[in-house]
Amino acid sequence: MEIFEKIKKLDKNYRILFERIYDAKEEIGIQKFTKDLEKKYKNLKEQKITVIKNKILLKETHFNLLRGKRQKPLFEKIIEEFCPFCDPKKYTPEDEIGRLENKYSITSSNLLKGAKNHSLVIFKKHKDIGLKDIKGALELSFLWFKKNKGNKFLIWNYLWRSGASISHPHFQLYSLENLPEKLKFIKERINWYKKSYKSDYFDDLFKLHKKIGLAKESKGLKILIELAPFKEKEVIILSKDWEENFKELSKLLFLYKKISESFNLFLFYDGDFKKLGFLVDRGSLNELNSDIGSLEIYSFSIVSSDPFKLAKNLFKNF
């Protein structure tokens, strides 16, 4: 939070320089606690989140130092002695809008927020989730989206290699007032493509990938095995209407879960990128080394999986 005090103290020239390169703002995340959570986490009911954007390099960082205190999975202690998500009504906080629930899942506020509107959809099963569980969790997520405003997206960090601190399956839901800088950059490039070539980028991308055997469509849901993936086994997902494609999308996630021990899902619901999603594999759960190093962070990705092999394995049942 010192950044705001330092900005105030800058002289005119440095203030101009700062504002030329950066945007900085503060958000407040609010959540409702049960009595048990009130006693344990009273200081977490309202959380200050500092958002700093580099407008030149199109980078964005959300600072919530409390997240550094969240539990981290240890290799020698993968099986959790206590799982708060197995009894979410008792051990997780509520959103400001209250809880949403169906047969397969239930919503919760994220105890340690990455943004002002940052919530969870927790699967009711701790393990062995199937098609119906995934579809039910997606349906509840989209109900949450409809009750919130902003740029909305869903992420699924499946197990600890993907960054999940709790192994119990859960989606994370975001609703942001402003589009993050990286996504603004993608939007600009897509608009540039349309102006330059009088054609839709994703339509062309699908046609190209289908031509070489790396894309398939099922009842309106299109999947592409990315030729230039960020990391292993990256899949691009396209749909005209997510809610009409819940069944196909659930099937895709179920099949992907079978070939990937740990993965990341990023799914847009609204705004400029609605009906666009990404899947990427994060490697074996037994590997101790990270799959991302300096090159991936600052320059380019190194990938060891064959996209055509992934297409063969994924398409045969899709």
pLDDT string in tens for the chain (318-residue length): 678 888 888 899 888 888 888 888 888 888 888 888 888 887 788 888 888 888 876 778 788 877 766 665 555 455 556 899 999 999 999 988 899 999 999 999 988 888 888 999 999 999 999 999 999 999 999 999 999 988 899 999 999 889 888 999 999 999 988 888 888 888 898 899 999 999 899 999 999 899 989 999 999 999 999 888 889 999 999 998 898 999 999 999 999 999 999 999 999 987 667 789 999 999 888 887 888 887 788 777 878 888 889 999 999 888
CA dist 3 and 14 (Å) reads 14
Q: Determine the Cα angle at 263 with ends 260 and 267, to 5°.
A: 125
CA dist 292 and 107 (Å) reads 31
H/E stretch holding 146 reads helix 131-146
Q: How far is CA 149 from CA 118, 159, 174, in A?
A: 12, 29, 10
- For residue 237, list its beta bridge partners: 223, 277
Phi first, then psi: give them for residue 157, nearest 5 degrees.
Answer: -95, 100
Query: What is the reported pTM?
Result: 0.84
Ordered by where they begin, the domains of the chain are 74-318 (3.30.428.10)
In the sheet that 263-268 helps form, which strands lie side by side, from edge to edge? 105-109, 118-123, 170-176, 151-158, 263-268, 276-281, 235-238, 221-225, 215-218
From the centroid of its chain, how far is CA 209? 24
CA dist 229 and 49 (Å) reads 31
Q: 206, exposed or middle or buried, with CB in 10 Å at 0-12, 13-18, 19+?
A: buried
